[in-house]
Amino acid sequence: MGMDRNTIIGFVLLGILLFLYLFISTKNSNELQRQKKVYEDSVALVQFRQDSLLKIQEAQKAKALATADTTGFNKAVTNTEHVSVIENDLLKITFTNKGGQPKEVVLKKFNGYDSTPVKLVNPASSNYFSYSINTSNNQSAQISDLYFDEGVVTKNADGSQSVDFRLPAPSGESITHHFTIHPDSYLIDWDIQVGSPEKLFTQNNFNLTWHAVLDRIQSNKQYEKQRSLSICFSEDNNFDYISQKLEKSFDKPVQWLSVSQQFFNTTLINKNNFASGAVKWQREPSDSSDVLARADINLQTKIQPSASTDLSLQIYYGPNDYSILKKQAAGMDKIIDLGRNLYSFVRPINIWIIMPVFNFFKSLIGSYGIVILLLTLFIRLLTSPLVYSSYLSGAKMKALRPEIEEMKKRVGGDQQQVGVEQMKLFREAGVNPLGGCIPALLQIPIFFALYSFFNSNIALRGQSFLWSKDLSVFDSILNFGFSIPGYGNHVSLFALLAVVTSFLISLYGMSMTPDQSNPAMKYMPYIMPVMLLLFFNSLPSALTWYYTVSNVITLILQWVIQTYIIDHEKILAKLQENRTKPKAKPKWQERFEQMQEAQKKAQQLQNKKK
């Protein structure tokens, strides 16, 4: 195998690895994968809805029993709903006395796909917390079905605001939900103050349920549903998550649990840990619904056996912003997918290199498209020692092309001998056969890191550049009105530019190598761009813009090196000089040539027998 073929195979390997990564990362958007899972999803959804219906029936039954009791909880059953609204600069929260909890949570700084403020709790979606209390002997009720007294709002000296909901209860028994909203914060405190807990909770068991509904927020609903939904949690102070798996049980203490979307999350935090729990969730299979997924979460802890006790909880309603999540509960910054599982090795690259550089340029320049361009220039400068040797090797190969063509004419159609002679020529010219592929392969972690970074960077959300209205989603210059399997229902111009520049790089690389007899090698420059186009078309335009800029830089560097840096006459003179000097062969080259010679003799022997 000669230098030219080694280099091409190296870049082919690079392309294949990128292709495999994109395939794995976007496999849920593949129609065949969706069809394969539709039966399992349908069965799971039926079971999920049956379980939800059973819980509703049990709650209704408990409510009916509670209505008939005379223990003093009747007012909590027959009261009417009242709401209280509290705002800070970031949140607008509507509290209801039914269940004594948030009924609607609006993020004031962010808009959804319909240009209205993002709602992480929507009254229409039945998103609520609950737990069971004893209302009398052999009777219980869910707190979400009971009406607390009307909320009392208090403005505190530190600028925070509080609202208290007290549950009407018999003498000696009491439950108060105390919420505190701090200035300029997405985190609210939720203190559950309980009097006579031994009467209200059987064996002092506090079983909190959370029915969470994730509504559509992004314009690309399919991408949001299939790629970015997950349940994240900290169990025994270790971060983990489930995305494809539909159930998880907790046997160790749970510090927090989060229902996360691409750019936003709702997280329940217990300062003193939940002892155990379980979660069951399901993506909504219907494409017509704006509900993306539903989750039923159960978390248990013990109530202290005393005259009165407090449970200190917190709820985070906010964006997946690294700098913000880092300041909340330990490990919450890992909710942002900057590299997980097989690709966890790119997380340090994102945290220590890409993110600081991106934020630095962002602090200087208002246009995020220009920020990405400068980030690309920085990355290419950082990797220049790696890629320069690759470009230099390719340029030397082009200089040797006349020699290689001359050698092929002399040897004829004997491919084994062509390989031997090519290796000899490269050794005499001082060309490293692996110089063209190894540096390129070393850049793969950079691409993986940027793929995670641009998919999860909320700073890009809603930022326009050139014809792209939102750098966090694909750009579209033409909508078909129908979907092409594997491609989509639109044309992304940035994706086209990325593919075209990749195609030009491939053609340039082929122009520097001798003609290939292997048809696969000849057609590879045409096949790879087509495969890339299928995956790039639905990727965030920030990523395809980066890839376009990076490819343009590659083309410019290749042209500059080939035109102004490489001295073809000097390379040929060096070749002639090296031919006159005895030079020991590297051991790998000796073994390679021995293998080629053995194959040649075996071929000759086989021909004689024929």
Q: Which residues of 10-32 are buried (b: 16+ CB within 10 A; e: fewer)?
A: bbbebbeebeebbeebbebbbee
Beta strands 254-260 and 230-235, pairing class: antiparallel
pLDDT digits (tens, 9 = 90+) for 298-342: 999 988 877 778 899 999 999 999 999 999 999 999 999 998 888
Between CA 591 and CA 583 the distance in angstroms is 16
The rounded distance, in Å, linking the Cα atoms of 525 and 513 is: 13
Joined together, the tokens standing for residue 602 give 């075996």
pLDDT of residue 371: 96
Which of these, 129, 122, 81, 83, lies nearest to 105 by C-alpha position?
122
pLDDT tens per residue across span 124-170: 888 899 999 988 777 888 999 999 999 999 999 999 999 999 998 77
Q: What is the dihedral of CA 507, 512, 517, 519, to 10 degrees?
A: -20
- Name the residue among 538, 116, 48 with its Cα closest to residue 293: 48
Where do the domains of the chain lie?
3-27+348-597, 69-336
What are the distances in angstroms from CA 479 to CA 2, 449, 482, 562, 564? 46, 30, 8, 41, 44
Whole-number Cα distances in Å, 227 to 22, 24, 45, 46, 261:
12, 11, 19, 22, 9
Instruction: Identify whether the C-beta of residue 128 lies closer than 8 Å to the C-beta of residue 102.
Output: no
The ranges of the chain with pLDDT < 70 are 1-72, 391-392, 394-395, 398, 412-415, 428-430, 432-440, 442, 509-526, 566-568, 571-572, 574-576, 578-593, 596, 600, 607-610
- On whether the 69-336 domain is CATH 2.70.98.90, my answer is yes
**pLDDT at residue number 70:** 39
Residues paired with 465 in a beta bridge: 468
Which amino acid is present at 261? Q
Which single residue is written with the structure tokens 């999803």? 41
pLDDT at 274: 95
Rounded Cα distance between 189 and 179, Å, is 5
Written as one letter, the residue type at 463 is: Q
Distances in Å between the Cα of 243 and the Cα atoms of 27, 212, 226, 341 are 13, 15, 9, 12
DSSP 106-163: EEEEEE-TTSSEEEEE-GGGT-EEEEEEEEETTEEEEGGGSBPPPPEEEE-TTS-EEE
Burial 243-259 (b: 16+ CB within 10 A, else e): beebebebeebbbbbbb
In this prediction, residue 380 carries a pLDDT of 87
Name the residue with tokens 């491939």.
506
